[in-house]
Amino acid sequence: MFTKTRTDIGQRVLKVTLAANIFLALLKIVVGFLASSAALVADGFHSISDIASSAGVLIAVAFASRPPDDNHHYGHGQAEPLAAVMIGMILFITAALLAYNMVGNLIAGEVSIPGTMALYAAFISIVVKELMYRYTIKAGEETDNQALKADAWHHRSDAFSSVAALIGIAAARIGFWFLDPVAGIVVAVMVFKVGYEILEEGFITLLGKAPAGNKILEIKEQIIEVDGVEDILDVKGRYNGPVLYLDIKIAVSPTLTVEEGHEIAARVKSRLLERYIEAEEVLVHVDPAGNNGKGVDNDG
């Protein structure tokens, strides 16, 4: 149910933003050429990268919802951070191309004064992109979907870049002609920064991101409240895309039977699965407690 709900929400959001991105890219590129605004054209190509990233995330969200199979025993959840990494790489490439073109325009002095239409197009882009960011980040946080959150920040970076384009266009129209391509360079820097942050988070998750320290402490508090648990020997966890896998070691009284120890482990597992809807699997290993009340780890 958790995975299906996330998939449904993610696909709905991505279809809406994909359509909006196509509209904005066409608007900014066409108006940018007609109004002779290098910054707006650069912003339009940034929106094309948004189209590519939203389409990629849409595919990744659908793929990540597929159940485990013989080749993927833990499911396909890693498709989401993989999509985030791809978005980061798209942003890197976009930033490099934008910066190259804007610097070339400055050096060559090939700068025209932008028309009034460019101002209107940039303003429309700012409003629409900010709305897209809020719509997507809300869904990403509600479902803890890393790919959606990465796509949301892509929208926010486009909103910021449109602000830079608007400032550059306005400045060029009042005589500071060079500020239009300079605004394009500022856009490229913003895009690069967002791309780096998305790449960093994506790689961390792909490498087996553990739950945050405060979450581990919270999990331990949940475990120790279960009747029969005398000590917690170890708590390990890792995320496979959006879902969490936990490995727990607890100590129980050595006088208990195997069946009684198994019942305590089952209660721990049930409590954690109920408390954390993102938890896909909880493995609980039981060891006998020593004379000092601490566990005796038999694994080593």
DSSP letter, residue 295: B
Q: In this predicted model, which residue has the larger pLDDT, 263 or 10?
A: 263
Q: Is the pLDDT of residue 110 over 70?
A: no
* pTM beyond cutoff 0.75: no
Q: Lowest-pLDDT range, 102-111, 118-127, 207-216, 284-293?
A: 102-111
What is the pLDDT, as a whole number, of residue 2?
Answer: 53
Domain ranges of the chain: 2-206, 213-288
- Inter-residue contact 51 to 43 (CB < 8 Å): no
CA–CA distance, 221 with 226 (Å, rounded to integer): 9
Q: Is the pLDDT of residue 117 over 60?
A: yes
Q: Is the pLDDT of residue 264 over 90?
A: yes
Residues 6+ apart with CB under 8 A from 129: 24, 155, 156, 158, 159, 162
Q: How many residues can be counted in the chain? A: 300
Q: In this predicted model, which residue has the larger pLDDT, 297 or 55?
A: 55
48 sits in which H/E element = helix 38-64
Superfamily of domain 2-206: Cation efflux protein transmembrane domain (1.20.1510.10)
CA–CA distance, 100 with 234 (Å, rounded to integer): 52
Fold that domain 213-288 belongs to in CATH: Alpha-Beta Plaits (3.30.70)
Q: Lowest-pLDDT range, 55-64, 218-227, 260-269, 275-284?
A: 55-64
Task: Write out pLDDT tens, residues 160-210.
Answer: 777 877 887 787 777 776 776 777 787 778 778 878 887 887 787 777 777
Query: Mean pLDDT over residues 50-59, rounded?
Result: 72
What is the pLDDT, as a whole number, of residue 59?
Answer: 73
